[in-house]
């Protein structure tokens, strides 16, 4: 009987939509309603809207908070595809645990112009830059349609917008452009690397966001690069920069949460595991989010640290409501590391040492091994045993770069030796020259260890 009532209920909704001059194809499946071919005059294209209603929607007359999410085709549970957010299942579980209030989800499908629509400015290599038009589409076309046909609360503090990757980027910008419309913003693994300078510039005067709840997170396994050799992964660096800029505006917990996930990757499986943190933050049943700490966890990066290297640590605290966030600038103590601010450090003494972080009544301890030389640098020792009067090594390739660089080896006993330092992972290709006669065999020398010696006999 209840199932029949639900079917009849959803049918009435769809008739109502059609009677209001919205001639859209639709599909219903229980609490799921898909509006196909939703047309945008602003963007000049069509897409699907995927709405997920609360369990109590059919039996109540009240209005609900609403969350607009990008990449709508990827957010709901599917038995045939594990690469989904499972936002529907996650929300139902949190509601049953009384951690969040019931909410309506509006998934907005991406189109073939995802990069263009999700970016605020054009990029030299990737194009883009239609983000403002996309934000206008959500505010002036999608939102009015949803508010006319579904029982949603229209106030800013009951309206959220969220997405991942470029979807996280455009969520922040949409809130910047429409600060009186969205009171809850979710930036999951955001692509803040996209024109980070422009983002910083916009945030420096974004005082309109001080009354907005903003959530940002990033995984440490999303991009394994550290171009600046400062111990901070590049994606972590850009998300931290945005977080610090928001703090400068006076925004902080409970209106701002930043989280670094040590195991987080850039995919829907990771986001499905982490999205609960955002949902609790944005739609908690608690009028005031708790600040009572249940436990803390600490992680250090990179795992291999050498003398003179810079590194970073993440200190995550878990509150009693399971909300998790990263903490910066706690009390720092170490016998081998020197604190350099904002959870970064420099290795100043080699050998085995310790790192202690103090937070209120909680102490976090880690053993730290510091190598005697920088872990970013490798030492290559060339040892050529030969009766020749002089030995040289002509570098023909350094990684993928062609060169004719000549390295002179120095006489030492019955050998010719030379020590070379370069970035770890460097490949050197070249030939030995003995008494000006070229040794025809090309040698490939890989600097993949902290120290390696190559011995040749001629």
Digit-coded pLDDT (tens) for 402-452: 888 888 889 998 898 888 877 777 788 888 889 888 776 667 777 666 677
- The reply to whether 377-457 shares the fold of 297-371 is yes
pTM: 0.82
Is 2-289 in CATH node 3.40.50.1820? yes
Which phi-psi region, left, alpha or beta, contains residue 346 (left: φ > 0; alpha: ψ -120 to 50)? beta
Architecture, CATH, for domain 297-371: Sandwich (2.60)
Of 33-37, 187-191, 310-314, 360-364, the poorest mean pLDDT is in: 360-364
Nearest to 246 by CA among 176, 315, 165: 176
CA-CA distances (angstroms) from residue 288 to 50, 255, 284, 285?
A: 31, 10, 9, 9
Q: What is the pLDDT of residues 45-90, one digit of tens each?
A: 999 999 999 999 999 999 999 999 999 999 998 877 878 999 999 9
Nearest to 28 by CA among 1, 3, 62, 45: 3
DSSP assigned state of 169: H
Res 165 pLDDT > 70: yes
For the chain, give every domain's residue range: 2-289, 297-371, 377-457
Q: What is the pLDDT of residues 229-265, one digit of tens each?
A: 666 778 899 999 999 999 999 999 999 999 999 989 9
Q: In what order do the strands lie in the sheet with 305-306?
A: 305-306, 362-371, 351-359, 331-334
Distance between alpha carbon 33 and the CA centroid of its chain, in Å? 30
Q: Where are the alpha helices (DSSP H) in 249-302?
A: 268-283
31 vs 11: CA distance, rounded Å? 11
Res 16 pLDDT > 50: no
Distance between alpha carbon 385 and the CA centroid of its chain, in Å? 51
If one looks up domain 377-457 in CATH, what number appears? Answer: 2.60.40.10
Res 361 pLDDT > 60: yes
């Amino acid at each position: 009987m209840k199932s029949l009532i639900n079917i009849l209920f959803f049918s009435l909704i769809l008739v109502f939509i059609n009677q209001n001059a919205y001639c859209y194809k639709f599909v219903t499946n229980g609490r799921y309603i898909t509006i196909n071919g939703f047309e945008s005059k602003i963007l000049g294209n069509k897409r699907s809207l995927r709405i997920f209603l609360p369990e109590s929607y059919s039996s109540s007359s009240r209005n609900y908070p609403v969350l607009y999410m990008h990449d709508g085709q990827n957010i709901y549970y599917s038995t045939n595809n594990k690469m989904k957010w499972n936002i529907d299942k996650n929300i139902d579980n949190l509601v049953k645990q009384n951690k969040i209030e019931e909410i309506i989800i509006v998934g907005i499908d991406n189109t073939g112009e995802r990069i263009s629509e999700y970016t605020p400015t054009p990029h030299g290599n990737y194009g883009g830059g239609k983000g403002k038009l996309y934000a206008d589409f959500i505010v002036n076309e999608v939102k009015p349609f949803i508010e006319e046909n579904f029982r949603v609360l229209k106030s800013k503090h009951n309206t959220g917008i969220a997405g991942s990757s470029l979807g996280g980027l455009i969520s922040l910008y949409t809130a910047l452009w429409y600060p009186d419309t969205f009171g809850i913003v979710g930036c999951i693994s955001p692509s803040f690397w996209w024109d980070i300078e422009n983002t910083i510039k916009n945030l420096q005067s974004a005082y309109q966001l001080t009354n907005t709840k903003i959530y940002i997170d990033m995984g440490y396994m999303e991009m394994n690069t550290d171009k600046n050799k400062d111990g901070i992964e590049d994606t972590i660096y850009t998300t931290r920069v945005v977080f610090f800029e928001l703090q400068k505006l006076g925004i902080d917990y409970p209106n701002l949460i930043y989280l670094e996930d040590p195991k987080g990757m850039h995919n829907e499986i990771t986001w499905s595991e982490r999205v609960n943190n955002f949902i609790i933050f944005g739609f908690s049943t608690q009028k005031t989010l708790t600040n009572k700490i249940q436990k803390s966890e600490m992680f250090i990066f990179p795992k291999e640290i050498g003398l003179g290297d810079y590194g970073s640590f993440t200190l995550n605290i878990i509150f009693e409501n399971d909300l998790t966030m990263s903490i910066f600038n706690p009390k720092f103590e170490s016998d081998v590391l020197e604190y350099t601010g904002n959870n970064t450090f420099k290795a100043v003494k080699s050998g085995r040492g310790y790192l202690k972080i103090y937070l209120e009544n909680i102490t976090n301890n880690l053993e730290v091994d510091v190598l005697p030389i920088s872990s970013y640098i490798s030492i290559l020792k060339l040892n050529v045993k030969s009766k020749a009067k002089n030995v040289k090594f002509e570098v023909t390739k350094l990684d993928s770069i062609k060169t004719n660089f000549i390295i002179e080896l120095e006489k030492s006993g019955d050998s010719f030796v030379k020590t070379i330092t370069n970035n770890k992972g460097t490949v050197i290709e070249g030939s030995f020259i003995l008494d000006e006669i070229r040794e025809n065999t090309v040698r490939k020398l890989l600097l993949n260890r902290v120290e390696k010696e190559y011995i040749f006999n001629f």
